[in-house]
Amino acid sequence: MSMKHLQTYRVIPNIPEPLAFLEILSRNLWWSWKATAVELFRRMDPRLWRASGRNPLLFLTLVPQQRMEELAADDSFLAHLDRVRKRFESGIRIAPREAQPFADNEVVAYFSMEFGLHESIPIFAGGLGILAGDHMKASSDLSLPLVGVGLMYRRGYFRQVLDADGMQQEEYPATDLYVLPVEKARDDDGNETVVSVAGPEGDILARVWQIRVGRLRLLLLDTSLLENPPEVRQITSNLYVADPKTRLCQELVLGVGGMRALTALGLYPKVCHMNEGHSAFSGLERLALTMDTREMDLATAMEVVPRTTIFTTHTPVAAGHDEFHVPLVTPALKGFEERLGVSVQEILSWGQPRGASADSPLCMFYLGLRMSQYCNGVSRLHGQVARKMWAHEWPDKPVDEVPITHITNGVHLASWLSPEISLLFARYLGPLWHRDPQNENQYRRIDEIYDEELWHAHEMARARLLRVCRDHVAGQYRRRNAPRPVQEEVQGLLDPDALTIGFARRFATYKRAYLLFMDPERLEAIINSEKRPVQFIFAGKAHPRDNEGKDIIKQIVAFAQRPSVRHRMIFLEDYDMHLARVLVQGADVWLNTPRRPHEACGTSGMKAAINGVLNVSILDGWWAEGYDETVGWAIGEREDSHSDPAFQDVLESQALYNVLENDVVPTYYDRKNGNAPLRWIRMMKNAMKLTMEKFSGMRMVREYRDRFYFPAAACFDELIADGGVQARGLAEQRQRLLSLWNQVWIALPRAEREGPFRVGDSVVVTAEVHLGALTPDEVRVEVYSGKLEAMDQVASSWAAEMVVDKPLGDGRYSYRGTLTCQASGRYGFSARVLPRGDDWQKNIPGLMTWASTS
């Protein structure tokens, strides 16, 4: 019977006073990356802990009151609780900011469409969100003044269910906010924070929630307010909706609304970091905010905002960036006309390609790029790909000088490390190893871990993986009403002694999960070897609209149901962070088969490596810079996409089988007298050391801090000092350069003598430069040289500044420089003129003039 006008109320656990800290702990995600805190909850009731989805708030409502009273009188449990409490209080204490260029209310605002903090908080879809979560955790560990800004999705990303044929179905269960560690964000006066954003069809109201992540706050905007029309309430219902209008609204709420939320809470975003282009609208709001609070005009604000903005791109395919058609986005930007003092057409042009027509869609990548001095890819190879992809923005620059750099992703080690390995690290490396994993004196102690101890720890993690897999598959069978004999087979799934290979990730076509199955007979032979068997565990979701990805899943499920392999191959439904942790901790091998260079980074391989799981991967993303033969195996060579993708698939599938048969399997089963595989263990240790040294989240965030955050914050102080005099000077200089650059011309440079030259020779080069009304102090003239790849193509280059030799009158100057011959080979040289200044000024598109004959 339905009843109207029901009034709701909540009943919360009556936690005994000695256990009161549990409630505090459950409301800060700090617990999620502290093994001793996770164990505290699990110890209370392991069965209920699993049943709650490892969600402390829900878990505490399930623990019987009698069990609470027992624990309140349990000296051992109370001692454990006290240890966790002391670590918590130390771990969330805000460190002094004397060495940081941030005042108390100044922050780095870190915008991301998704945040993967823990599986119990379903506001993420995949790698982008997991990376954002790890970034926040590492920033908390480093006590950075960073605030996350995202969206509060009421239904999150979909839950995956496979039907009897292996076809993916999607479910969107509603999220119960009352079992999430969220609270309403309030201003200094205790008022709830609600912001308003102009959308394509009217104003959008968004409430601001917050989650505590160690020392930091994550702000989440939510449009599910009664004051909004029903369709507006749905804006923050699901991640990555297909409807362009809803997607636009989400990105307006994230960027514009996120900036307004920070302001309403008394936080000043001194530096902004956009994790992908979804939040690029934040740049418009930040321009308006800077103009208003600093009393600047737009040209001056445009010298401040980009110099204090970071833009990280994760997408190595141009078509992967969001675009919005002009008629859709124009109404939402109308309000910026008056605030910025320019037309909507001008604002739109900031998000359109150079020279594009006025009706070209607004591309969020271009908008992010034009608002950021610091632009980076997420691995060395991805940085190269991004420079090549967007080189047309700087048509006069060599590709290797396009101002897009890279900071290779890292993973928050404590969040992904198995409990067994964590105990080993605490014993051999010291209890505070996670604070400075890059310290060589620390990570080299991994070699001191006894081989038998490390192997035993790994075997325990593998046993847990197999147990979780069996339970998971049993649940899948029950949901499908599988016949009883099939259900009873579950306990015979997977061999505890067989080489176990994991493959778990988003099922996008470019990740080529099908590569393993291109020669089914050969694969069956590998799996069913009598003396050296191999088993495979698959997991992952395809995008709801990616039918090709769904078909790949279906094909894998069909293969795994073959009687000959069904005990050694499974597909786990509904891949989430919990399954990810269990897999990267317990597998023996982590398999990755993307089509190079489409994998921007691929952090799951790092999570596996820190647990001693060995990677077998295409040389793409992070593996292209992390691989050597002592830490894992490569599939194929360093070759980018072939002109014939089908032929490339055949070649690389055969390379995969060869690596498995000739290298991986023999190394794993190379054991004397039944002992542990010593060479394998040596590789495990090398993989762990590699990850600590180069691929930790602490290394990543320190790099962002030292290369981007701190320099940007210091630059901000310089630009706004004395009423913004320096920023105004830069704006005037930019306008001067743009208006006078057409007068710049440089003649072909001349070497003082003809070659050939010998290694070590220095050759003087001169060139005549016409600067017109500009002066030598405003430009930089360079001699440019590089090894020739073809008649007019340079493979690797360098540039050296030339100096004025003498003025020639009428704005003309003779410049002199030096060519240094460092290595033998065939070289070409030229000369060029570019603006003098910092990276933002010297990279103004179109302001580079190369030597010519006229």
So what's the pLDDT on residue 249?
98
Write out the DSSP string of 641-666. --SSHHHHHHHHHHHHHHHIIIIIHH
So what's the pLDDT on residue 835?
98
Q: Is 411 within 8 Å of 696 (Cβ atoms)?
A: yes
Q: Which residue type sits at 445?
A: R
Quote the DSSP letter at residue 709.
Answer: I
Q: Which residues pair with 804 in a beta bridge?
A: 815
Q: Is 782 within 8 Å of 798 (Cβ atoms)?
A: no
Q: Which residue type sits at 57?
A: L
Alpha-carbon distance of 68 to 813, in angstroms, equals 85
Helix H or strand E segment including 785: strand 779-790
CA 288 → CA 261, 296, 340, distances in Å?
Answer: 15, 9, 6
Q: Which residues of the chain have pLDDT under 50?
A: none
Q: Which residues pair with 588 in a beta bridge?
A: none
Q: Is 814 within 8 Å of 360 (Cβ atoms)?
A: no
Q: Which residues of 517-539 are buried (b: 16+ CB within 10 A; e: fewer)?
A: ebeeeebbebbeeeeebbbbbbb
Alpha-carbon distance of 496 to 250, in angstroms, equals 46
Nearest to 631 by CA among 667, 672, 599, 669: 667
Instruction: For residue 310, give the 3-state DSSP assignment.
Output: strand
Max Cα separation, the chain?
99
Per DSSP bridges, beta strands 534-539 and 779-790 are unpaired
In the chain, % of residues over pLDDT 90? 86
Instruction: For residue 385, give the 3-state DSSP assignment.
Output: helix
The two tokens of residue 621 are: 């993303």
Per DSSP bridges, beta strands 762-770 and 614-618 are unpaired
Alpha-carbon distance of 154 to 719, in angstroms, equals 41
Query: For tokens 């490596």, what's the residue?
Result: 609
Q: Which residues of 101-134 are buried (b: 16+ CB within 10 A; e: fewer)?
A: bbeeebbbbbbbbbbbbbbbbbbbbbbbbbbbbb
